[in-house]
Chains A and B, each alone.
Chain A
Amino acid sequence: MPKRTDLKKIMLIGSGPIVIGQACEFDYSGTQALKALKEEGYEVVLVNSNPATIMTDPVLADRTYIEPIEPETVAKIIAKERPDALLPTLGGQTGLNTALAVAEMGVLDEYGVELIGATREAIMKAESRELFREAMANIGLKVPKSGIVHNLDDVRRVAQEISFPIIVRPAYTLGGTGGGVAYNMEDLEEIASRGLAASMKTEVMLEQSVLGWKEFELEVMRDRNNNCVIICSIENIDPMGVHTGDSITVAPAQTLTDVEYQRMRDASIAIMGEIGVETGGSNVQFAVNPEDGEMVVIEMNPRVSRSSALASKATGFPIAKIAAKLAVGYTLDEIPNDITRETQASFEPTIDYVVTKIPRFTFEKFPGTQDSLTTAMKSVGEAMSIGRTFKESLQKGMRSLEIGLPGLGKDFARPEQSVEDLLAASRTPRSTRLLTVRRALAAGATVEQLYEVTRIDPWFLRQIAEIVAMEEELKGFSLEHSIGVNPDTAAMLRRAKEFGFSDVQLASLWKKSAADVRGLRKELSIVPTYYLVDTCAAEFEAYTPYFYSTYETGRELTRSEKKKVVILGGGPNRIGQGIEFDYCCCHASFALRDMGVESIMVNSNPETVSTDYDTSDRLYFEPLTFEDVLNIIEMERPDGVIVQFGGQTPLNLAVPLLRAGVPIIGTSPDSIDRAEDRERFQALLNKLDLRQPANGTAMSFETARAEAESIGYPVVVRPSYVLGGRAMEIVYDSEALERYFREAVGASPEHPVLIDKFLENAIEVDVDALCDGTDTYVAGIMEHIEEAGIHSGDSACVLPPHTLPEAVVEEIRRQTCALATELNVIGLMNIQFAVKDGVVFILEVNPRASRTAPFVSKATGVPLVRLATRVMLGEKLKDLDPWSQRRRGYYAVKESVFPFNRFPGTDVLLGPEMRSTGEVMGVDPSFALAFMKSQLAAGVNLPHEGTVFISVNERDKKAVLPAARIFQEVGFRIVATGGTAAFLAEHGVNAEKVLKVHEGRPNVVDLIKNREIHLMVNTPSGKKTVHDSAILRQTALLYGLPYTTTAAGAWAIALSIRERGGNGLKVQSLQEYYGR
């Protein structure tokens, strides 16, 4: 059946900001879908609030709405665009829920919009725990015993029927939000009430736990003729009880017989039919009892999911692209398989390697939260690795994580803990459990003992035991007498590489340098070969250039003689380094393609567009370590290597690669060092006569106190050796300084602490610029909405600046150009300024692409990264002329999105340490409305009316006054704590006094819980009293109360509430803003 011709215009909903459980995999799926629909000649309308995505590039969709993804806004876009169909299955849970909501509002019926891919009934059947359970019963499949509850009374009743531990699974939520494992009634009531609050339909399922059962997933595709194919099977190393997003998973399944696998396959196909997923991809999860093979269905997602992205990258089968084509009417046998060209999409990929996915966690940023893994997802990113064997794949995966591990195991020191302690530590699932398992095995624990405590399948445990045994063998191998003479050396080294050991690991085992190991290896011609990911285990010739390294004998890769450039990607997502850098890498690749230069991508993150096989001319799915990257470069011999687009990961490789003779293009690593090295940076500023805040370095608390006093409090303190604002704090007095030294860091001559003057109430400004060595294009000047002191990645900002005087903007522009020229920047640079009392200070200079590059590109209509890439290859700005492409006449506000609801117990205060996972953009001709849109997009629905609660510290009282006046003016009732209320009253703002938590009851927390407060303004004072107000902010978070923790934020909120008045927000596409 060919594609449908009754549809002309199709709308796609993206997944919005990056949050835990919903990351760039939906940019990957949405981008594939967009391209597929455009290829078929459809007009495509996209809504996605996330400016850092590739999919929101204005060249991809016909109409790109960077607007909040929430039902009312989407309804407005539908009313305006009148699409024929809405494709809801490619934008994650957000896309699906929003589509369902607009369907329920009657908007789709009103405008005659058809839901394609999955009907409303199918979505409900899959998402509603109750309907799903019934559906499974209809087709004779077992599900764990469970009860559906809608309130706490139900919870208590159902708990009588199911034995503990009980799994709490909220319906219609993402990544297990609000779920968990309850071991007793108290746990249960707490988790269930959180779950009820998180569920869009106040529906939670209490489920009999199958903790410790084996967990599997199957990725299924179905077309309208009921043809079904299984793309991939995935086995979780972590058994049931850990969210699959937090589990280490392996593709394909390793421990199922064909009989068991086919039973799962049959069940998956039956589920597709029963749920009624018309077309597209779905994911089904199963649990299997390891004792007797009993199989139960856990859940299914009637949409493309994180696992689909993994399955696509693991097999080479482009699930999202095919899903889009199936949605418009094609059948699987009508869609060609790009990889083999001669076969169709109607087949099941078979693979001849092992894929391992390992999640990356960030517990260190959320103190107060325990590192323990449950059914609610907590990881912020993931790395995928490919090896010919599980051992090779696992070790590559561990080093792909970029957490300082060169493989499974680092220094191989004898574990100090006893076997008993290590076994006990292995029992609780944690982010580091596999390392504990390795240590336990090294200490002498048996596979049986570990199976007993972890329930990790013995097959996996034995594989790890084999790696540990290999370590021992390598340790015992005497290298000294053998270099170059012992024929066993080559065999030993080759075996070690086949087991996935990195040069760094071998160096550590043999007490050599990694360079020595590399030298020896090359002398013995032990170098990796690159094998193809071809969907068919070499049965057919493959054309897609998608490779992984392995130590095997064949040669499949031939180097082309074209001019070529390698782009190093950003690796697994983490806080501070995510989709923005993938956007940059992809754009570099697109630019190279436009220029006829062969683009070669190296990355290890399966969620990304950059690891799509058709983004670049060649893709290497490899860890971003010196060894793995240099191996590729030695094989490809590129004309240039780009390190400035992938964030800190490739930047850290720049100098070692340069020393190895690799041609790094763009800004020289020496310039990068000049900007990063504190002393050289100061010299640079002095030379240019530019200012930075007063600063100093301290090796001890005593010197720090002296420095701080000479600089003057408040000061910002941070260790010199960490990045991304880790352990960075603002201290207001020597007492706080002392506490910082006592609790946060210990300073020493090797690890000095840096002290900077903190510019209170300064306005922070981010600037992105593009320079070709001669000319500088100041691409975007972003004024932060929150005052200085909040990590730039966490603060909201607006482009163009909305309060800075033109003279200041001009001065910022001048300084930017001076720095760019002096540093001889070739490509992008980012500068952070602070403006205090009209004086411009420089906080930081980064001669590389910044997190804001995609935001600035979208906000100004200038494709910065593409231009930067051209500049890096020698083109000149005066020819590229970015100035004429610049669009104006509207404000773009970037707001950050935080994962606090995933980390119960952590304070939500913003500070110098970055903690946001994602961002959204609001665009409007009015600043206030652009800000309001950004809030709405970030999930904060600001009230029109009601009660605002204000409680600010002494320093902020004056600053919060303008906001309070506006709240009064627009008719809000104002309640405030004693001091604030008195201050406001003194200045003519009526505020009712409300009790603080420790002042008795009813207090402000009671008011929040009774939903009598609709907006909260709460700024904390110094670290000491922060904890007093933390409970307030946590309550606000739990009850979904809009809040701000800064006075500047309060002002922006007040402005936007006033400007919106009773009117709604207007929607407009980027193309319209650009005047296209």
Chain B
Amino acid sequence: MRALLALEDGFTLTGTSFTGPGESNGEVIFNTGMTGYQEVLTDPSYAGQMVCMTYPHIGNYGINAEDMESRRVFVEGFIVKECCKTPSNWRATMSLPDYLTQNGIMGIEGVDTRALTRHLRLHGAKRGIISTEDVTPEELAQRAKAAPLMEGSNLADAVTLPEPYVWTGAATAPARIVDGAYDWPGPGPRVVVFDFGVKWNILRLLTEQGFDLLVVPSSYTAAQVAALRPDAIFLSNGPGDPAALTATIAELKLLTDAYPVAGICLGHQLLGHALGGRTFKLKFGHHGCNHPVKDLTDGHIEISSQNHGFCVDIDSLSDVQLTHVNLNDRTLEGFAHKTRPIIAIQYHPEASPGPHDSRNFFNRFRTMVREATGR
């Protein structure tokens, strides 16, 4: 079924819907990863966005049961050059079109994804719309403007689960909170994870470090956290503009005074705000698996998995040591507080998808917690 893609600036491309009729809008961004579309689809950080994959063949290995990064698909729409209808992989349980259709997400193919990517690179991320309706490109471009702007969007509160939960190793399960208190079951250091749209692989890797995890909604206050008596706080990745999470930032200011804190991606940006810094929107963001990040503490280079549209302004922070920088555009990729146990990185040490070069972040967090709390 013929489908049209229009951006708010009037740029349009035609394609074919592989998920039936429909219409969907969101901020259009591109992702340069050649593998890992299943992880991308289920990464809550993509809420509010329509993702264009730059690699032309998507769906080749289908969808499997294991590589989920959350409970459902979060992208608003999926734009590819060619979608594979019959996958080939020993783990595949479903095809990509079936999976998107089941989740009610639009996918279009036959799109000149390179032309779209170049347009976004030159003109910046844009709001866009895909539709199978019989409308003129001009009219559709008008409709694209109806999508919410990413700047100022508080999406984390929209994707977070409303109640605390625990990670069972393969899935999530409700946590029993009685009168605001939690009976930690295990012997490990206790970590409260703020769910701004957390990827499951973060939970997997924190568990691997021996932490006991309790995942709480983004709305949790410092007082609520204190009642849980954690040893440390972990701030997850998530979608949207960090500056819009004013309430969370206020609570984090209190938490950073009291606990060891680590943050990834949106968590990194929120820590930046909590420590008095600013964030700004990147022209078209970093979305892919091949960005080089230099660890300034030892000079080592990590090929990193990245997915962010906002960035912490390097010059806005004081009292922190810059620990990681992006070698492509020299933007801030990580910092540590000079005196307090606070570390953060902008990119994705949990990968999924992407290289595993940065997994030592979880070791660093473990060490920091041990040094700060003796646990």
> A residues within 8 Å of B by Cβ?
225-227, 229-230, 233, 252-259, 261-262, 265-266, 290-293, 331-333, 342-344, 346-354, 388-390, 457-459, 462, 531, 536-541, 552-554, 556
Of the residues B38, B299, B328, B354, contact of A342 by C-beta under 8 Å? B328
Cβ of A253: which chain B residues have Cβ within 8 Å of it?
35
- Closest chain-B Cβ to A777's Cβ sits at a distance in Å of 49
Within 8 A of A (CB), among B25-60: 30, 32-36, 38-39, 54-57, 60
Rounded to whole angstroms, the CA-CA distance of A352 and B84 in the bound complex is 16
Q: Determine whether B67 belongs to the interface, using a CB cutoff of 8 Å to chain A.
A: yes
User: B70-100, CB under 8 A of A: which get 1 and which 0?
Assistant: 0000000000011010111111000000000
Q: Determine whether B307 belongs to the interface, using a CB cutoff of 8 Å to chain A.
A: no
Q: Determine whether B327 belongs to the interface, using a CB cutoff of 8 Å to chain A.
A: yes
Rounded to whole angstroms, the CA-CA distance of A259 and B303 in the bound complex is 16
- Closest chain-B Cβ to A250's Cβ sits at a distance in Å of 10
Q: Across chains A and B, which 6 residue pairs bring their CB atoms closest together, nearest first?
A: A554-B115, A258-B36, A258-B353, A537-B54, A459-B88, A348-B290
Q: Is the interface of B mostly helix, strand, loop or mixed?
A: loop
Cβ of B39: which chain A residues have Cβ within 8 Å of it?
258
- B328 and A333: CB pair below 8 A? no
Within 8 A of A (CB), among B275-319: 288-292, 294, 299-301, 303
- B35 and A257: CB pair below 8 A? yes
- A540 and B328: CB pair below 8 A? yes
- B90 and A350: CB pair below 8 A? no
- B356 and A266: CB pair below 8 A? yes
- B82 and A258: CB pair below 8 A? no
Cβ of B32: which chain A residues have Cβ within 8 Å of it?
350, 352, 536-537, 539
Cβ of B354: which chain A residues have Cβ within 8 Å of it?
258, 262
- B82 and A347: CB pair below 8 A? no
Most chain B beta-carbon contacts within 10 A, residue among A333, A342, A347, A353: A347
- A257 and B54: CB pair below 8 A? no
Cβ of B356: which chain A residues have Cβ within 8 Å of it?
262, 265-266
Cβ of B36: which chain A residues have Cβ within 8 Å of it?
257-258
Cβ of A354: which chain B residues have Cβ within 8 Å of it?
56-57
- B328 and A352: CB pair below 8 A? no
Rounded to whole angstroms, the CA-CA distance of A536 and B13 in the bound complex is 22
- A292 and B88: CB pair below 8 A? no
- B88 and A343: CB pair below 8 A? no
- A388 and B55: CB pair below 8 A? no
- A538 and B118: CB pair below 8 A? yes
- A538 and B327: CB pair below 8 A? no
Of the residues A252, A291, A350, contact of B288 by C-beta under 8 Å? A350
Cβ of B55: which chain A residues have Cβ within 8 Å of it?
252, 350-352, 537
Rounded to whole angstroms, the CA-CA distance of A272 and B32 in the bound complex is 26
**Apart from A293-B91, A539-B30, what 6 extra A-B contacts exist at CB < 8 Å?**
A233-B34, A258-B38, A262-B355, A348-B355, A389-B81, A553-B13
Instruction: Please name the residue on chain B nearest to A552 by beta carbon.
Output: B112
Most chain B beta-carbon contacts within 10 A, residue among A331, A344, A350: A350
Rounded to whole angstroms, the CA-CA distance of A490 and B264 in the bound complex is 50
Rounded to whole angstroms, the CA-CA distance of A739 and B89 in the bound complex is 55
Cβ of A462: which chain B residues have Cβ within 8 Å of it?
86, 88
Cβ of A233: which chain B residues have Cβ within 8 Å of it?
34
Within 8 A of A (CB), among B333-359: 351-356
- A348 and B60: CB pair below 8 A? no
- Closest chain-B Cβ to A902's Cβ sits at a distance in Å of 33
Given A258-B33, A332-B301, also A537-B60 (CB < 8 A): no
- A259 and B66: CB pair below 8 A? yes
- A261 and B35: CB pair below 8 A? yes
- A390 and B327: CB pair below 8 A? no
Rounded to whole angstroms, the CA-CA distance of A347 and B55 in the bound complex is 17
Instruction: Please name the residue on chain A nearest to B111 by beta carbon.
Output: A553
- B112 and A254: CB pair below 8 A? no
Q: Determine whether B113 belongs to the interface, using a CB cutoff of 8 Å to chain A.
A: yes
- Closest chain-B Cβ to A255's Cβ sits at a distance in Å of 5
- B35 and A258: CB pair below 8 A? yes
Cβ of A348: which chain B residues have Cβ within 8 Å of it?
289-290, 303, 355
Rounded to whole angstroms, the CA-CA distance of A388 and B114 in the bound complex is 9
Instruction: Please name the residue on chain B nearest to A539 by beta carbon.
Output: B32
Of the residues B38, B66, B86, B112, contact of A554 by C-beta under 8 Å? B112
Cβ of B331: which chain A residues have Cβ within 8 Å of it?
none
Rounded to whole angstroms, the CA-CA distance of A552 and B113 in the bound complex is 10
Rounded to whole angstroms, the CA-CA distance of A872 and B329 in the bound complex is 46
Cβ of B35: which chain A residues have Cβ within 8 Å of it?
253, 256-258, 261
- Closest chain-B Cβ to A370's Cβ sits at a distance in Å of 31
Cβ of B81: which chain A residues have Cβ within 8 Å of it?
388-389
- Closest chain-B Cβ to A441's Cβ sits at a distance in Å of 14
Rounded to whole angstroms, the CA-CA distance of A258 and B35 in the bound complex is 5
- Closest chain-A Cβ to B40's Cβ sits at a distance in Å of 9
Of the residues B30, B117, B300, contact of A225 by C-beta under 8 Å? B300
- Closest chain-A Cβ to B323's Cβ sits at a distance in Å of 16
Q: Determine whether B64 belongs to the interface, using a CB cutoff of 8 Å to chain A.
A: yes
Instruction: Please name the residue on chain B nearest to A252 by beta carbon.
Output: B34
Cβ of A256: which chain B residues have Cβ within 8 Å of it?
35, 61, 89
Q: Determine whether B364 belongs to the interface, using a CB cutoff of 8 Å to chain A.
A: no
- B291 and A347: CB pair below 8 A? yes
Cβ of A389: which chain B residues have Cβ within 8 Å of it?
56-57, 81-82
Instruction: Please name the residue on chain B nearest to A332 by beta carbon.
Output: B301
Most chain A beta-carbon contacts within 10 A, residue among B33, B38, B54, B356: B54
Q: Determine whether B121 belongs to the interface, using a CB cutoff of 8 Å to chain A.
A: yes
Of the residues A333, A388, A556, contact of B292 by C-beta under 8 Å? A333
- A344 and B327: CB pair below 8 A? yes
- A347 and B290: CB pair below 8 A? yes
Rounded to whole angstroms, the CA-CA distance of A290 and B300 in the bound complex is 36
Instruction: Please name the residue on chain B nearest to A556 by beta carbon.
Output: B118
- B114 and A352: CB pair below 8 A? yes
Cβ of A254: which chain B residues have Cβ within 8 Å of it?
57, 60
Q: List 22 A-B contacts (CB under 8 A).
A: A226-B300, A254-B60, A256-B89, A257-B38, A257-B89, A258-B36, A261-B35, A331-B301, A332-B301, A342-B329, A344-B292, A350-B33, A351-B34, A351-B55, A388-B81, A388-B114, A389-B56, A459-B60, A459-B88, A536-B290, A537-B288, A539-B121
Rounded to whole angstroms, the CA-CA distance of A393 and B34 in the bound complex is 17
- Closest chain-A Cβ to B6's Cβ sits at a distance in Å of 14
Rounded to whole angstroms, the CA-CA distance of A353 and B55 in the bound complex is 7
- B353 and A553: CB pair below 8 A? no
Given A343-B328, A462-B86, also A255-B61 (CB < 8 A): yes
Given A252-B34, A342-B328, A554-B112, also A257-B289 (CB < 8 A): no
- Closest chain-A Cβ to B354's Cβ sits at a distance in Å of 7
- A352 and B117: CB pair below 8 A? yes
Cβ of B328: which chain A residues have Cβ within 8 Å of it?
342-343, 347, 540
Of the residues B115, B288, B327, B352, contact of A346 by C-beta under 8 Å? B327
Cβ of A258: which chain B residues have Cβ within 8 Å of it?
33, 35-36, 38-39, 67, 289, 352-354
- Closest chain-A Cβ to B185's Cβ sits at a distance in Å of 29
Rounded to whole angstroms, the CA-CA distance of A580 and B93 in the bound complex is 52
- B91 and A257: CB pair below 8 A? yes
Given A350-B289, A553-B13, also A225-B299 (CB < 8 A): yes
Of the residues A227, A255, A257, A388, contact of B67 by C-beta under 8 Å? A257
Rounded to whole angstroms, the CA-CA distance of A554 and B81 in the bound complex is 14
Rounded to whole angstroms, the CA-CA distance of A790 and B137 in the bound complex is 69
- Closest chain-B Cβ to A936's Cβ sits at a distance in Å of 45
Rounded to whole angstroms, the CA-CA distance of A961 and B342 in the bound complex is 91
Rounded to whole angstroms, the CA-CA distance of A556 and B54 in the bound complex is 16
- Closest chain-B Cβ to A351's Cβ sits at a distance in Å of 7
Cβ of A333: which chain B residues have Cβ within 8 Å of it?
292, 294, 301, 327
Most chain A beta-carbon contacts within 10 A, residue among B30, B34, B66: B34
Cβ of B67: which chain A residues have Cβ within 8 Å of it?
257-259
Cβ of B115: which chain A residues have Cβ within 8 Å of it?
552-554
Given A255-B88, A459-B60, also A350-B299 (CB < 8 A): no
Most chain B beta-carbon contacts within 10 A, residue among A226, A253, A257, A552: A257
Instruction: Please name the residue on chain A nearest to B14 by beta carbon.
Output: A553
Instruction: Please name the residue on chain B nearest to A350 by beta carbon.
Output: B32
